[in-house]
Structure 1
Amino acid sequence: MDKSILFVGVGGQGTILASKILTQGVLKAGYDVKMSEVHGMAQRGGNVSTQVRFGKRVYSPLIEEGTADVIVAFEKSEAARWISYLKEDGSLVVNNYEIYPITVTTGNEKYPENVNEALKNTVKKTIIINAAEIAESLGNIKAQNVVLLGALIKALELTDIDWEEIVKENVPSKIVDLNLKALKLGLEA
């Protein structure tokens, strides 16, 4: 199984952590893995993208336009922004969540309307998840990244890996239980 996964979101959403957990999981499963991350203006609410490629043998972490098997979007307009990276028969996992950029909050631009519908009309395999709502129901919206990761794991049929152990290794002990619950709900979503 050779897969190219593009994670896209906004700074502070946990995009990089989700990518690292995926990377460690598939590495422990015996795959060759490469990961690359771009922070941009992440600490200022800018976009963040990480690229994870795994398979029998991977030479580069970089995903070219039109070659991603899956895009995981932590914010729905980011899905629209990066859609050109998805291969024709690829899958899109989208958090049904909006973060307004400064240009929208100042009134200079409008947030795009009907993003989910446009994505579904463009990509046959589109999965919309209310990851932020699920995380908030657990008491912490920051767990939305692990909810999305759970959905991705299910979509990739990688459920035979010990993801609980990998989550425990990657999050602070005080929030392990929260993240394990988020992972479970993401797998179910």
Structure 2
Amino acid sequence: MTKNILLVGVGGQGTILASKLLTIGLMKSGYDVKMSEIHGMSQRGGSVSSQVRFGDNVASPVIEAGSADILVAFEKMEAMRWMPYLKKDGKLIVNDFEINPMPVLTGRAQYSSDIKSVLTDATKTDFVDASSAAMTIGNPKVMNIILLGALVKAMGLEAIDWHAIIASEVKPKFIELNKRAFDQGMQMIS
């Protein structure tokens, strides 16, 4: 059976690195894995999405609307934007974080104040304050690895040696920091 994971965020949040680490871990565990990513205007703070599909035999990297088993949103508005891709019984992990889009910054729109209740009413949702946890660990850039840890725990993929994968893929001076971030994320999901 193929599982579908959608990771979404805003440019610069590390969505692509988290997806890459996830893909490597799943491949090392013997799964057939397909990954696709859409950068869009990511360098300008635009939407970024990565689709990871894994199972015994995966034909396509594309996740269609209504078929994601789990959606990991690195920002709350992105969770709202990508909700149509989640299965009816799917799970949502949301970084409890806001990045104001251009219409909000220019005063033409307001950031919705009821996103949390809308998401919680729509599906099984875990809010993770990955951004604050990253600051506590000492580097805001590890927020993505915290969310990866939360995803791994939510999907029951703890048996994979994620620390070894992190060590093989990040710069040596950031390995221990990223391992701590990953472990923190695992603890943030019940």
Bin for the TM-score computed over the shorter chain: over 0.9
1:1-189 aligned within 5 A? 1-123=1-123, 125-189=124-188
TM-score by length of 2: 0.98
TM-score by length of 1: 0.98
The separation in 2 between residues aligned to 1:66 and 1:133, in whole angstroms, is 31
AA aligned to 1:170 is E
The separation in 1 between residues aligned to 2:153 and 2:77, in whole angstroms, is 23
1:114, CA displacement in angstroms?
A: 1.5
- Kindly, what percent of the aligned residue pairs are identical? 54
AA aligned to 1:116 is K
Q: Which runs of 5+ in 2 are unaligned?
A: none
List, as ranges, runs of 4+ consecutive aligned residues in structure 1 with deviation greater than 4 Å.
none
1:102, CA displacement in angstroms?
A: 1.5
- RMSD of aligned alpha carbons: 0.7
1:116, CA displacement in angstroms?
A: 1.1
Q: How many residues align?
A: 188
Q: Which runs of 5+ in 1 are unaligned?
A: none
1:2, CA displacement in angstroms?
A: 2.3
Tell me whether 71-80 or 165-174 shows the greater mean CA deviation. Answer: 165-174
The separation in 2 between residues aligned to 1:170 and 1:107, in whole angstroms, is 41
